Amino acid sequence: MTAPAPPDPPRLDGEGFDLNLRPARGRDVLLLQQWFGLTQTETCYLLGLSVPKWNHYLEHPDEPLNDPTVALLVWLLATAPETRFLPTFPEPAEVLPLYLETAQHSAKRLGAIRKTKFGKTAFGLLLGREMTSVNRWLTESQERRPSPQVYRLLWVLRNLLLTQGVAGFDAWVNRVEVEAHARGLKLSRRMTSWSRMLNRDDPPLQRERRRSRKARATDEAPS
């Protein structure tokens, strides 16, 4: 799976990222990480580096890379970014419509008593996060982005729904129910996160209304 070409590389010094004019150096490893927007772990995987080797390159930013294979790999990824072999992880907004469409055709329901179809509010729970996560992920500012683990889960979930459809969705929900039960929880409207559930005398709808009023008040208050 190839990734689209990234934007123009950053220029952190006079030579910038032009590796056609000079050998790859220690600082180019960090430049490559910043350019592709990767974590340290992802960059180490991309280049096949151990953590000590990563630290060595960062501690010697102006020295040519001592491993010619890594140097050639950095040059190729920098000059031909379409060769990058890490997946481009989808945003929640890209997977949400596919999830909602598939859920509509599934017989699975949220809860055993007040059975409702899986919708937007359950999306965060199915990704191992709290119910309100999806609202934060879908804001334009996206001040709180999904964790690297959630991005990977989104990628896998999207591929599962595309290849297996409703059957894959049902299997996913079944597994979420197993994981919830192992933590003393029950996948239902009363489950607001993976650490707590609402009390029975606090109906979800009433709680959601209070949360909405609180959110509006917070938005109106000065920062």
pLDDT of residue 85: 84
Do 81 and 96 share a domain, yes or no? no
- ∠ CA 171-190-192 to the nearest 5 degrees? 80
* Domain termination site, one of 61, 87, 113: 87
Residue predicted with more confidence, 215 or 109:
109
Tell me: do 211 and 113 sit in the same domain. Answer: yes
CB count, 10 Å around CB of 146? 21
How far is Cα 49 from Cα 56, in angstroms, rounded to an integer? Answer: 10
Assess whether 25 and 74 both reside in one domain: yes
pLDDT given for residue 114 in this prediction: 67
Q: What pLDDT is recorded for position 51?
A: 95
Count of CB atoms situated within 10 Å of the CB of 27: 17
Indicate whether 70 pLDDT > 50. Answer: yes
Contacts of 141 (CB under 8 A, 6+ apart): none
Q: Residue 110 in 3-state DSSP?
A: strand
Query: Model pTM?
Result: 0.69
Residue in 212, 104, 219, 87 with CA at minimum distance from that of residue 156: 87
The C-alpha angle 106, 176, 202, rounded to 5 degrees, equals: 90
Indicate whether 110 and 211 sit together in one domain.
Answer: yes
Supply 130's token pair.
């709290």
Identify the CA nearest to 12 among candidates 75, 61, 79: 61
Percentage of the chain surpassing pLDDT 90? 55
* Average pLDDT value over all residues in the chain: 82
The residue segments making up the domain with residue 29 are 1-87
The string of pLDDT tens digits covering residues 171-197 is 999 999 999 999 999 998 889 899 877
- Are 56 and 117 part of one and the same domain? no
